[in-house]
Chains A and B, each alone.
Chain A
Amino acid sequence: MRTRVAFPRKGRITLLTMVILLAFGVSAASAQEGGAAASNNQKWNYIELTKVPERARAKQNPFENDSDSLLAGGKLFQRHCAECHGMKAEGGKRAPSLLREEVQQATPGALFWVLTNGVVWHGMPVWSKLPEPQRWQIVAFLKSFRTPLGPQGPTGSE
């Protein structure tokens, strides 16, 4: 004998709402992932670097030759950036490589500006929630990729 389980009306509405939410979230996630994967490493990902105001571009990194800051920058990179940009900044499904010359030839000030302001309409959040010294530490880490020695791989084990 088939048993019919009757939900109260309020329960049905709640269940329906949750199903809609789940479907909505999944479709939004799929759209986002698909879009990001298809467009990764394309030129427009780096265009933001050309839009940096001159004054911001000229800023110097106060931690440029500070080895502790380089290590700290590596730790922060692993914690906040590697998930999208890859463990060695080689790029991932969701974000472009930071090893490309567009990034490596950019001034520290330009990288700091992009990190602070994000590329919001193209998926990169603003990172001004990290204190200014921490953002400069990340920039120091990114710029270290172009030196002959480079960073000693990702620091920390996070």
Chain B
Amino acid sequence: MAGHRTFPACVLLRGEIVGRSVFSCVRVRLFAFFVFLCSLLFSLPSFAQESPYIVTYDHYLEEPGSLEVEYFSTFGTQRGANDFHAHWVEFEYGVTAWWTTEFYLDGQTTFGDSTLFTGFRLENRFRLLRHEHFINPVVYIEYEQKNGADKILKEVEGLDVESDYADANASLRKEHVHELEFKLLLSKTYKGWNFAVNPLAAKNLSNNPWEFGYAMGASRPLALKASANRCTFCRENFTAGVEMYGALGDRYHLGLHDTSQYVAPVAAWNLPSGWTLRVSPGFGLNDMSHRFLMRWGVSREFSGFGEMMSHFFGGGR
């Protein structure tokens, strides 16, 4: 029977492969493509000079043609229910020097409950001014399609509070969220210090009111001057700072009442190999917030990805 045959080399036999074997075959091909893509990606040169922020954005966009792949993880404590571990993968691509586009895939594990995929996000950032100014504005537009079990807390808005996350995943996932989110990213770098403020407004595309929130941060490399040698542990490779973020209510209940607020020290380590590691322990500032959020992330930038894809599809010759 075809269903019991094995296909080590994944050969399609004119429709004879059915059921599970077809999927095995597709899996082998997908895996081969994935390995091929990874080997191509890792052959690309890379550089990293990333900010340490996890929630806040500064005004720096991805370099044109570069792809940054990031994995982030958030462990959160939860009163009244089990703690959780939320995670997301982020693909950030610099289309031009003034436009960066990103694609996110979100998921979470609630201990003692389940693990599930919670949705995706598509975001775009546009630089408005051609030169550096006292304050540099960037417009941020995001579309989110997720369910109510999403716990990555990438932004906090409206009347989001800790108890919203206490229900079981089976119940939370029934809620579907289609949301548009707008941010104005204001940022300035002065004498090595970066200061960034991000007011945000979000609109659930169902009949919910506009919701508001903010994030802000300050950070600085540990050394401003680069050393002459290639080094992994020199101070210039480390950046530290702090960020604060929270909700500001909605159209009918504007303000800090019944909202969650967080403060989080942040640190990043930019390795010469192109990898960046980030870590950020976050603390809830009121009873509406999760008491503790431990975030960390790892990312790698692949420079020249656009050129590679362009050649791969026969363009840019």
Please give the residue numbers on chain A whose beta carbons come within 8 Å of chain B beta carbons, in ascending order: 1-3, 14, 17, 21, 25-26, 28-30, 32-34, 37, 68-69, 71-73, 75-76, 79-80, 82-83, 93-94, 116-126, 128-134, 137, 155-158
Contact = CB atoms under 8 A, between A and B. Distances in A.
B65 A32 contact: yes
Contact of A29 (B65, B191, B303): B65
B307 A26 contact: no
Contacts of B303: 83
A134 B236 CA distance: 10
A70 B19 CA distance: 64
Given A30-B310, A32-B64, A34-B315, A137 B225 contact: yes
A134 B228 CA distance: 11
B45 interface: yes
B130 interface: yes
A117 B59 CA distance: 12
B134 interface: no
20 contacts: A3-B19, A21-B103, A26-B310, A26-B315, A29-B65, A29-B310, A32-B64, A33-B310, A34-B310, A75-B226, A75-B230, A76-B226, A119-B97, A125-B63, A125-B64, A129-B58, A133-B225, A133-B226, A137-B225, A158-B230
A72 B225 contact: yes
Contacts of B71: none
A6 B48 CA distance: 43
B241 interface: no
B98 A134 contact: no
Given A30-B313, A37-B316, A75 B228 contact: yes
A21 B122 contact: yes
B210 interface: no
Contacts of A155: 228
Nearest to A81: B47
A14 B310 CA distance: 24
A97 to B, nearest CB: 18
Interface string B78-110: 000000000000000111111001010000000
Q: Which 5 A-B pairs have the closest CB atoms?
A: A30-B315, A29-B306, A33-B316, A71-B228, A131-B224
Chain B interface SS verdict (over half)? loop
Interface string B291-308: 000000000000111110
Chain A interface SS verdict (over half)? helix
A68 B228 contact: yes
B189 A129 contact: yes
A34 B65 CA distance: 12
Of the listed residues A2, A80, A83, A130, the one surrounded by the most CB atoms of chain B closer than 10 A to its CB is: A83
A72 B316 contact: no
B191 A72 contact: no
B228 A25 contact: no
A32 B96 contact: yes
B151 interface: no
Nearest to A25: B93
A65 B141 CA distance: 46
A123 B51 CA distance: 21
A72 B130 contact: no
B59 to A, nearest CB: 8
A73 B228 CA distance: 8
A72 to B, nearest CB: 4
A83 B97 contact: no
B224 A134 contact: yes
B256 interface: no
Contact of B226 (A3, A72, A82): A72
Contacts of A131: 192, 221, 224-225
B227 A72 contact: yes
Contact of A125 (B15, B22, B97, B306): B97
B32 interface: no
